[in-house]
Amino acid sequence: MGAPRLVDWSQVDALIDSCVASRERLGRWVLGITGPPGSGKSSLASRVVDRAGAVACVAPMDGFHRSNDELEAMGMLELKGVPASFDAESFVAHLERLRGPGAVPWPTFDRGREETVPGGRMIGREVQLVVVEGNYLLLDDAPWNRVRQLVDEVWYLDAPEEDLIPRLRARHELARTPEDAWAKIQSTDLPNARLVAATRHRADVVVA
């Protein structure tokens, strides 16, 4: 694989149109959108779906967080968001099911309760463009390294840390004190962002 193609925001809609055309040629097409926490992956995924229309949907990786009870038993509740806090094997198994033509129940994440919702979204047979968004689509450690083989293309959404921090503060301060929000950013978000940044070169496209 060569170096990723660099795309700026003025080219994103043309990139989406190309993606939709690929879906029409190939049948169900799975697009991965990755990048560090706070980079805007969910917004970009929604933009793709809005432009692609009714045959597209978002399948977020957040639904594969381990339960709070399981994380507490593992001593990882305060590290929720690191790779080990996800059920990566289940994520890969669901991606494998997406490669077929059938309907796939997909777990979602309730941010109000900070818990997953099994089967929270049904990806129907009619869906031909699935946008999978999450931090760790390009990790090289097992079982994450199987993800890259199960998606047709991966876009990496680039953002410098100085842009991420205020967005992450605003997100965490919805449920935490400013001090606890900053502690969460330092203990989890920034290390995760640096881990994800090291995978940038494996993407097909970098949007910056």
Q: Are the CB atoms for 187 and 79 separated by under 8 Å?
A: yes
For the chain, give every domain's residue range.
Answer: 5-207
Residue 55 has pLDDT above 90, yes or no: no
What the block records as the tokens of 62 is 């957040």
Q: What is the pLDDT of residue 25?
A: 60
Q: In 10 A of CB 36, how many CB atoms?
A: 27
Model pLDDT for residues 86-126, shown as the tens digit of each residue:
999 999 999 999 988 889 999 998 877 878 889 999 999 99
CA contacts within 13 A on the Cβ side of 175: 8
Model pLDDT for residues 145-192, shown as the tens digit of each residue:
999 999 999 999 999 999 999 999 998 888 889 999 999 899 999 999
Average pLDDT, the chain: 92
Model pLDDT for residues 32-46, shown as the tens digit of each residue:
999 999 999 999 999
CA contacts within 13 A on the Cβ side of 6: 3
CATH 3.20.20.70 fits 5-207, yes or no: no
